[in-house]
Structure 1
């Protein structure tokens, strides 16, 4: 777009609003559009200029938008966030009054995304100043919920008219906030709302991928690994092949989930998406090398903690136990394995604080999870494994 005067900008906005072209209005209300960087749009008090060109209620939105641009030009992120919050609340009232139409949904998507991004910037700029960590984002989520409630309350059944087709985009914005401030319990009612929506097929593929990614992550934290696998696999397989950054993000959670379910990733996939941190860990798990496993967790601790998967990675140790015990089984060549032999193997690989009772507990967990077929003879302190496929095989994926 070539350079444009503010008066021409306002005239374009008026025509787009009157013709109910929500997509065009959204473009010119976006803080990420190029006009946001032009100095002549950084107006501290734009009321007089805007009111000469624009009718109500558009004038209020544009005044707040231009004030927000001015605050950003001064690097006042907290001020910009507060103005954008007011803008979002003003727009919510307008959206609520549009009883029989949904043409303004693109505007909602735009201002809500900008609100979340500004809240994140304000959090960073005000870190340690008055507000508690996450408080600004939590307040932003309350504004987003205002829009969500308006959309969810629209009972019209026609897809082309109802505001409910805007619900998923808002849910994804709210997910991004709740995951950032670690309030995942607030996701549950949003998930129920989407699952009960009759417009699931109407949501864009991109929105569905984002939704599946976050719901898959939540399922992982809830230890529902089958659901996590289903949702994260959908997100990974449907994410465009050129979006390597997004596919990498999905893999960071999909890999440990798959491994917990008994699937092993290939080295080529881990290299392709730059998550090679997992490869040595995969080898340690497959070899049952508990010493190497513990050392690698320590080496990559900051990466796993940053990604929020440290506790999930620790759970992979159960697979390493399974593989170690399988080696003991092959060495002894018997279906009645002394618990003491398994404990000796554990101690040899650095698990010096594990006694016989704890070893039995580890075996019991493996049997419960179906990773070993058999039972424990407590009387004889032996693990009696099945004569047919006592250690169900792990499977490669991707």
Structure 2
């Protein structure tokens, strides 16, 4: 296909309002990127201006300039051209009143912008995250246009494109560790009348990220709700995606008192958690430290090291429950709990530190009782002194 044929195909797709075809023709992941006949120059730009109406002509020119820069290994230039391409798509959306046929084009151009920005970030030696942050500002331009479309019918509204953009922005904000910027996006989706009209794949991605954010905010009930939805609705053949969801869902479930089975963890190649589950059930604090050291790189790469560390409090609860059963009394000497801690590898723990651990467990509701500092004893309730963890949800 030469440049004239390329322009004619684009103009025809736009005239017939076939957004998916237009998106493919302007994608950085389509086969046309290998077509040498589409090399951009001043003559080619004139041909585009003559054959394609404004502002779509600006989209095409920026697209071909981006292709040239990518072929020349000039990643920063490619990012700048793709950013200009996205800005032109924003103008196109603004001009289209009460119609949304070009949403597939917006999805494609915005995705390509994020991917090119990620490549550009690798070339940056200073100010890490700055390119992606600028890309997010560009994506927000499209988001505002979609969010402000209140005149269209339910079928033709651009608001149906909001969730795709929110998911793109989530991926950017999570990668540059600016999760606070997700809050207004979450509010916009949760208050949207089209909340249940988005595609299931987009809903899964959205709930995956919102679940992760809730986990980092220590809102484990919400994290469980969102991540469980994502896992249960993810296609059963998408093993990689299901595993990714479980990396965050498993520690959340554990913190809520639900221990995963070995069978599930083995199926998704997550047996690192099974060693942790066994140690927690046994109240074996030394084994937990061993597991944390052994799989430290895995937990850090997944961004859950600090979350997994919180699971240690469950091991304290289970250990103290064993002491309670052995002592067979509702007045447990703090010294007995201290001895249990030392026995499981906490060799330098003192009475005061032991009392602090107990106080935290009582505050969290994992132990029903109080500490008698005068008698150095933990007085637990005669009825259900160690509530099941799942009952605390």
Other-structure match for 1:279: 274
1:246-283 CA distance string (max 9 Å, x none): 11111111111111111101111111111111111111
- Residue 188 of structure 1: CA displacement? 0.6
Q: Which segment is superposed worse, 306-315 or 357-366?
A: 357-366
Deviation of the 1:52 alpha carbon: 4.0
Tell me, in whole angstroms, the C-alpha distance in 2 between the residues paired with 1:98 and 1:307: 42
Q: CA offsets, 1:197-254, max 9 Å, x none?
A: 1111111111111111111111111111111111111111111111111111111111
Q: Which moved more, 1:271-280 or 1:314-323?
A: 271-280
1:230 aligns with 2:228: no
Contact 2:330 2:379 in 1 (8 A): yes
CA distances 1:127-159 after superposition (whole Å, capped 9, x unpaired) = 31xx40000000000000111111111112621
**Corresponding residue for residue 7 of structure 2:** 10
TM-score, normalised to structure 2, is 0.95
Kept in 2, the 8 Å contact 1:31–1:69? The answer is: yes
Report how far residue 394 of structure 1 moved: 5.0
> Would you say 1:313 and 2:311 are equivalent positions?
no
Q: How does 1:76-115 map to 2 (within 5 A)?
A: 76-115=74-113
* Residue 66 (structure 1) aligned to one of 64, 67, 74: 64
| In structure 2, distance between residues paired with 1:241 and 1:279 | 22
Q: SS in structure 2 opposite 1:304?
A: helix
**In 2, are the aligned partners of 1:264 and 1:394 still within 8 Å (CA)?**
no
CA distance in 2, matches of 1:42, 1:369: 65
Deviates more, 1:237-246 or 1:345-354: 345-354
Q: Give the TM-score of the pair, scaled to structure 1.
A: 0.94
For 2:248 and 2:363, the matched residues in 1 are separated by 24
d(CA) in 2 for partners of 1:44, 1:135:
30
Alignment of 1:137-152 (within 5 A): 137-152=132-147
SS of the equivalent of 2:259 reads strand
The residue correspondences of 1:1-398 to structure 2 (distance < 5 A) are 4-45=1-42, 46-124=44-122, 126-128=123-125, 131-156=126-151, 158-394=153-389
Deviation at 1:18, TM superposition (A): 0.7
Q: Would you identify which runs of 4 or more consecutive aligned residues in structure 1 move more than 4 Å? A: none
Q: How many residues align?
A: 390
SS at match of 2:196: helix
State whether residues 19 and 104 of structure 2, in contact with CA within 8 Å, keep that contact through their aligned partners in structure 1.
yes
Task: Return 314-323 or 292-301, whichever deviates more.
Answer: 292-301
CA positional deviation for 1:24: 1.2
Query: Which structure 1 segments of 5+ residues have no match?
Result: none
Aligned-partner SS, 2:354: helix
